[in-house]
Amino acid sequence: TAGKGKIVMATVKGDVHDIGKNIVGVVLACNGYEIIDMGVMVQTKDILDAAQAKGADLIGVSGLITPSLDHMVAVAKEMQRRGMSTPLLVGGATTSAKHTAVKVAPEYAGPVTHVLDASLAVGVASKLLGTDKEAFVAETRKKQARMVEQFEAKQKRQPLLPIAEARTRRLAIDWTAAPVVKPGFLGTRELRASLAQLSEYIDWTPFFHAWELKGRFPKILDDERYGEKARELFEDGQAMLKTLIGDARLEAKGVYGYFPAASHGEDLVIYQGEDRTQERERIPMLRQQGELASCLSLADFVAPSADYVGAFAVTTGLGLDAIVADYEKAHDDYSAIMAKAIADRLAEAFAEFAHEKVRNELGIAKGETRDDLIAEKYQSIRPAFGYPACPDHGPKEELFRLLDATSATGIALTESMAMLPTASVSGLYFFHPEAKYFSIGTIGDDQMADYKARGGKAIGLGAL
């Protein structure tokens, strides 16, 4: 059948995440659209060549990590260079209506629309391919122009502190008051856990978010609006969890370690040995530049003399491709997506399990309950590169070198620093009682220049 229209969809180059894209694809296919799904890590040229060759009515690009935002801008630029007029749909967890309006839409004369989630995709597609296309495009452009104005006004309204001044507001820690937490060994060790063990550590709230049901677990199960759907989904999730635990193909592998360290300004310096004479890795960090009482940097949580940091990389995605391929062969897209969603939850559970082990080893655990774990009410943090406190994905390279992570766990990094398998988590451990999560927010050109001079790669810092 001709269907309602042809849609080429892809996760952009360097990005390996596709749960959201696949859900959107299934929803659109169920509504009569022909979906040409090009998979993950697709080069801009390949997406557009396919769209032109197959006469696509719409092009949908997706991404989950912040470097993908830059690739979406590149897609828009290339569509403009080719003189295309096909509407471009932008979606994925890191994307936003604001980023689409400010960075993507100005690069392409054709229609550019941000799609928040799968439930809205059908409406957007039908408007772009229907008789009221012109009115919809004009309305979208008006909204985007307003967002650009608001963004520019906010930039003027919230001036950033010069980086030199932000540094004078660094977090002042009395290093004599809290003793440095000293690990019992230095270097790396492997982490082992069964999937059954890890299932105890699952935080189910993000599982529902992956399926676009907003709300906190377990309350969501009794939600007036989503309750019935949530209970059904939870049942399916539990069944898949059981299947994956019983299926010997899915494997959990991890590595963690402790290293002698110190902070030099915003640099986190990791040494070869306890004598701290030889640098092993130097990881540049960023500092908040907003008008704040304390302008934080992760480096502030590490003593400027003798201290220690930890690092970890864990995955529960080894063997997942074969399991997903079996479901796809049987045309069971729902189970294929469900298997990926559960593997992602298990990876986060593994990171939580490992962090608890680390706190116990260091003697800083202090009788935590499982609720404390989910609420992150404990000493020590485990920030991941690409997240708000350290938004540059670049230092994953140093982290992986420190841990020899690829040979220890089988996790590889893509050109945009996404981890493969996708059901993987990596990051650093900071142990000081005052260490906490925060968001760097917008940084100034002065700090960006300084950061790059210190070796910062700034991969994925184009997010708003």
Residues 6 or more apart whose CB falls under 8 angstroms from that of 115 comprise: 24, 60, 89, 90, 91, 121, 124
E strands, 75-201, in order: 88-91, 112-114, 187-191
What's the length of the chain? 464
- CA–CA separation, 115 vs 252, rounded Å? 34
Q: Of 62, 68, 297, 380, which residue is the catalytic one?
A: 68
**Does residue 432 carry a catalytic annotation?**
no
Residues 6+ apart with CB under 8 A from 4: 31, 32, 33, 125, 126, 129
Structure tokens at 38: 């090009």
SS3 373: helix
Q: For this structure, is 446 an active site residue?
A: no
Q: Please spell the DSSP secondary structure of 231-299, one letter per residue.
A: HHHHHHHHHHHHHHHH-TT-EEEEEEEEEEEEEETTEEEEESSTT--SEEEEEE-----SS-SS---GG
DSSP helix/strand/coil, 67: helix
**How far is residue 222's CA from residue 199's CA, in Å, rounded to a whole number?**
22
CA-based end-to-end distance of the chain = 42
- CA angle at 141 for the pair 139 and 143, rounded to the nearest 5°: 70
Q: What is d(CA 132, CA 137) in angstroms, rounded to the nearest whole number?
A: 9
Q: Are 288 and 296 in contact (CB under 8 A)?
A: yes
What is the spatial distance between Cα 142 and Cα 49, in angstroms, rounded to a whole number?
30
Buried-exposed string 286-309: b where 16+ CB fall within 10 A, e elsewhere: bbbbeeeeebbbbbbbbeeeebbb
Residue 117 DSSP label: S
Q: How far apart are CA 129 and CA 91, in angstroms?
A: 18
Measured CA to CA, the distance from residue 425 to residue 418 in angstroms comes to 10
Question: Is the torsion defined by CA of 397, 400, 406, 409 positive or negative?
Answer: negative
305 is a catalytic site residue: no
Q: Give the active site residues.
A: 15, 17, 68
